[in-house]
Amino acid sequence: MSIDAVTAPVNRSSEGAPVDHEVVVIGAGMAGMYQIKRLMDLGVDALCLERDADLGGTWYKNRYPGARFDSESYTYGYSWDRELLEEWHWVERFSPQPETLRYLNHVADKFNLRDKIRFNCGVTAMTFDEDGPLWRLTLTDGSEMTCRFVLTALGVLSIPTYPKIEGMESFQGPAFHTFDWPAEPVELKGKRVAVIGTGATAIQAIPEIAKEAEQLVVFQRRPNWAAPLNNGLISDEEMADIRRRYDEIFAQCRRTAAGFEHDADRRGFWNVSREERMELWDRLYDGPGFGIWLQNFLEIFLDEAANAEFSEYIADRIRQRVKDPVLAEKLIPKDHGFGIQRVPLETNYFEAYNRDNVTLVDLTETPIECITPTGIRTTAGEMPFDIIVYATGFDAFTGAFDRIDITGANGQKLRDKWADGPVTYLGLLVSGFPNMIMLAGPQIAATNFPRAIEPAVDWATDLLEHTWATGHNRFDTDAAAEQAWVDDVARGYSLVLSGRAQSWITGYNSNLSGHEYGKTRYNVYQGGAPRYMAKIQSVKDEGFSGVEFAG
């Protein structure tokens, strides 16, 4: 037999009722793109459905000024193709959205991924048909499609949450969520702009909007801790060095809890002197990216006193950067410590408030009463605006699933099963929803996102291959294995200070989507990426323990 014959793609398929496609992948962002590539390589009849007009997911949608990675670019890119790693030059240490979208388009072109992606094709409903067994999908154009297996790559922050404010629809000028920032240029020059929200997105956008707009008013409900991104260009020499070190870089990302190069300082917060702590913090504050968060002492995440001392250090930094001391205090969070919520990284965020054209409205003092046709009215009066920007966050993790009417075996709705929060096995499977694998679902490890996506895609592909190789056409996870995982995830929330945060990690804002207010949703696995990866590997090594095969 020739080598070609051995390596030629085999058309994998399962027994069962005929289907339009063996596998459908929903979503063509980072996860969906890699998944379709893996299936193409295997010669599987697979199709990727994308609701948007083009690929890129998060990086296709988030076009607001200042949108960029908080991950070092070279730790965020795909790791699975040596040639791709060798040929791509990341221009900036923290890639801006347009460059990232260019990168993803380059990947799609290089591997002909568009051949297997159907654009402007959302999924509105999917129902498991036991007789197939198969999934019956309803698409946005009303047509139906069937497949044996569904892999969801819906994105974890892909459903924007607009606030519910009286009169929103009456505003006559442009008004949009940052996620829906128009693709065509938005003229900010000479405009009076309102930004509602001060999360990671707003903190990236505000300094950029401030440079352009005639007037910018920021409506803040709760301030967020933020620290400098310290971005820079990557020279040819640095990029050559990064290329030489790629194996080492990815190995380091696999070793660390959050999938970055940054690793915690394990000397022990209380074992070193205050001077030594200050020396570390000064260095990290001037260093790049999440170092200030992830290269810090582990006690920051676990010990209230340690966290309070460090938070005070950051508060002082804010006081040094904001000229007006009263304003500085308004920008310093008082209800939670640094790093308890996901830390926004910024470039001149605090300096933006020193500009004459930027004003902060503290909504705890003067709440918004309504939006009028020409502006925003707070209890202090009405302010006129030309543009309103909602930087109000996302219906995280489960929102994209809730938007699809998903019916599993025995007629159960996923929406109902998840009414009190997500319930999964390893963040990858859901009991009662056979032949469905989530590639970027709730309860996967909280990491530098692609570093968790790639193992999830590989695991999903291995599960499919195992199913085919063992002559089955149906798998489901057993409820006991699922419950054990949910308990493990919940335990993680009880161990870290961030488990009580008011953030999308705890699903605190998902009441906007009809979920109970203030009830913690266990959206992510908090036990660290290495432990998560070891777990999914051991499940696989045990022939997919906790998964039942049939057919």
Contacting positions for ligand NA7 (CB under 6 A): 157, 163, 196-202, 219, 221-222, 342, 363, 391-394, 504, 509
CA angle 406, 407, 411 (to 5 degrees): 165
Cis peptide before 133 (omega within 30 of 0): yes
Cα dihedral value 59, 60, 62, 65, nearest 10: 90
Decide whether 133 or 223 has the Cβ nearer to ligand NA7.
223
CB of 205 to ligand NA7, least distance (A): 9
Decide whether 149 or 449 has the Cβ nearer to ligand NA7.
449
Could you tell me which of 337, 518, 538 has the C-alpha nearest to residue 421? 518
Give the whole-angstrom CA distance, residue 144 versus residue 512.
30
Decide whether 364 or 483 has the Cβ nearer to ligand NA7.
364
Element spanning 194, H or E: strand 192-196
Cα dihedral value 453, 458, 464, 465, nearest 10: 170
Q: Which residue has the tokens 């056409």?
A: 473
Decide whether 16 or 163 has the Cβ nearer to ligand NA7.
163
CB of 360 to ligand NA7, least distance (A): 12
Could you tell me which of 133, 150, 144, 128 has the C-alpha nearest to residue 39? 150
Decide whether 27 or 199 has the Cβ nearer to ligand NA7.
199
Decide whether 378 or 461 has the Cβ nearer to ligand NA7.
378
Decide whether 89 or 221 has the Cβ nearer to ligand NA7.
221
Question: How does strand 117-118 pair with strand 46-49?
Answer: parallel
Indicate the residue whose CB is closest to ligand NA7.
199
Decide whether 290 or 297 has the Cβ nearer to ligand NA7.
290
CB of 157 to ligand NA7, least distance (A): 5
- Name beta bridge partners: 49: 26, 118
Question: How does strand 547-550 pair with strand 474-477?
Answer: antiparallel
**Cβ burial 103-125 (10 Å sphere, 16+ → b, else e):** bbbebbeebebbebbeeebbbee
CB of 442 to ligand NA7, least distance (A): 15
Question: Could you give the count of Cα atoms lying within 13 Å of 77 in the half-sphere of its Cβ?
Answer: 33
CB of 177 to ligand NA7, least distance (A): 9
CB of 393 to ligand NA7, least distance (A): 3
Could you tell me which of 387, 390, 389 has the C-alpha nearest to residue 192? 387
**Is the backbone of residue 46 left (phi > 0), alpha (psi -120 to 50) or beta?**
beta
Decide whether 201 or 296 has the Cβ nearer to ligand NA7.
201
Q: Which residue has the tokens 């000064």?
A: 282
CB of 300 to ligand NA7, least distance (A): 18
CB of 189 to ligand NA7, least distance (A): 25
Decide whether 40 or 168 has the Cβ nearer to ligand NA7.
168
CA angle 247, 230, 59 (to 5 degrees): 65
Give the whole-angstrom CA distance, residue 371 versus residue 158.
25
**Cβ burial 526-541 (10 Å sphere, 16+ → b, else e):** bbbbeebbebbeebbe
